[in-house]
A and B are shown apart, each in its own frame.
Chain A
């Protein structure tokens, strides 16, 4: 961002997720349409990419970025803890999840450790069919009965059922992973980024990755990094050439081997080596139903402010035990006022 502000942008930039459209709207990026027209078929873009990973990098009919890394979170569970509680398979629905969480809680161990970062709450919203924002009405959808039910489900699991840890407020999101690695939690929701810490932290831990839970829908949230070429790039052709090499299937497969990363290409997810990997393959299977939660809201340019309000509202429910039915409409009213303002 500092480089863009100083008008000294690089030829090729990687963004942390969600910046492409915002930068594109401000006229800071070069449209990639001519490159895509020229090389798209040869490199498989956009057809070989998960559809939402293409949409989050477009503005209208203009391509401004290409997803290089695509990830998502899903249920990760301690096989031995579940077996000891009488479950030979991971839960697939919210009700099963609640039962397993309660059955595996006891002593200093908990059934589930939720993550306090805002993105993680979205698993519950998405599985209950909730979307963040409706562009037609210019309003957020989080005061719906489904949204209220989703966050109340999590709050009740913590405070009423006592089957989940109270999230630990903090600047990092490693708390649940650390408890899971220490064999003190039966289930967490996380992504491939926690594979290495779990394996190195407790090599003897018997754990596995499950498909995402289903309530009204089977869903989870997506994340990842895209590459973009700034408008003022001095060598855009060379930047595109490098971009093509970085998103090539061979490169993606090598990066998966090296760093355990999941990728946006459909052919990556279908690759036999990927599918044979019990951990990465399982995460890969969640990518087709993963969703970019705030793609539509980002286009308003107000999502960062609304996200902060949402984080605060969710913490009122999950930390302070305020009823979701009271907090979420209040949040929606504040968010809608921001959206309605100039």
Chain B
């Protein structure tokens, strides 16, 4: 038996990326703008999403996909209470949504007439960064109590996003958060990244984000 080298050169997550492309095609077919919302646990993703839905209503018809590691419907129930379509994807303990899970979840969500779908990823700053979903916009909700060193510690997440929300700005007086140091890390990783400091709780800064998103979606729909 002679050992033989077989050249491969294939991206390890190529299969995921291909399904992500199918998801994107499905969104585009329905003219649905998809946003992948990522954050660490407790950054305020769900509150931010609820306030974003409020801000965009009634201009757009919206739906939400909730990724959760456990079969609890705490987040999904809050969306349902608004009377909007919501699908929960239980990852069964997995640390992220991947394109295949999203593809399966989309089977339960009729996209006809949905202008914007917000996909709430599993709370985690490492794994979701590696798995593309097929979304048009990758968004990170950072929050001030997490600390100003997070861009330095989770570079892949900060490199892969299109827009950054800095949530819980109302807590700045009570914590040690050096905004200049935080933003310097972001600038190294993702120069010129569009950033919105907000408090989803008080509503501070939310209108700037909503107006920007409105503009981005309008531009996208003209394509």
Q: Do A and B come from one complex?
A: no
